[in-house]
Amino acid sequence: MTQLSEMSEREYFASVGHRPGMFVGKTSFHRLTAFPIGYDQHVLRHGGHGLAG
């Protein structure tokens, strides 16, 4: 298995989709939508391009 730090964003979010509870705890729509929003804000804050589309 590829380490999370070595994955592309597409691979990373695919792994979240396969095992969402591992990333957000109790799986719910609100937690799953908050996860990529938080990720996007973190990337933008640290000089990245953020998520598009």
Q: What is the pLDDT of residue 10?
A: 87
* H helices, E strands: number in the chain: 3, 0
Report the predicted TM-score, pTM, of the whole model to 2 decimal places. 0.70
> pLDDT tens string for the chain (53 positions)?
678 789 988 898 899 899 999 989 999 999 999 999 999 999 999 998 988 87
5 in helix, strand or coil?
Answer: helix
User: Residue 15 class from Cβ within 10 Å (0-12 exposed, 13-18 middle, 19+ buried)?
Assistant: middle
Gap between the Cα atoms of 49 and 28, Å rounded: 27
Residues 6+ apart with CB under 8 A from 25: 31
Q: What is the pLDDT of residue 1?
A: 67
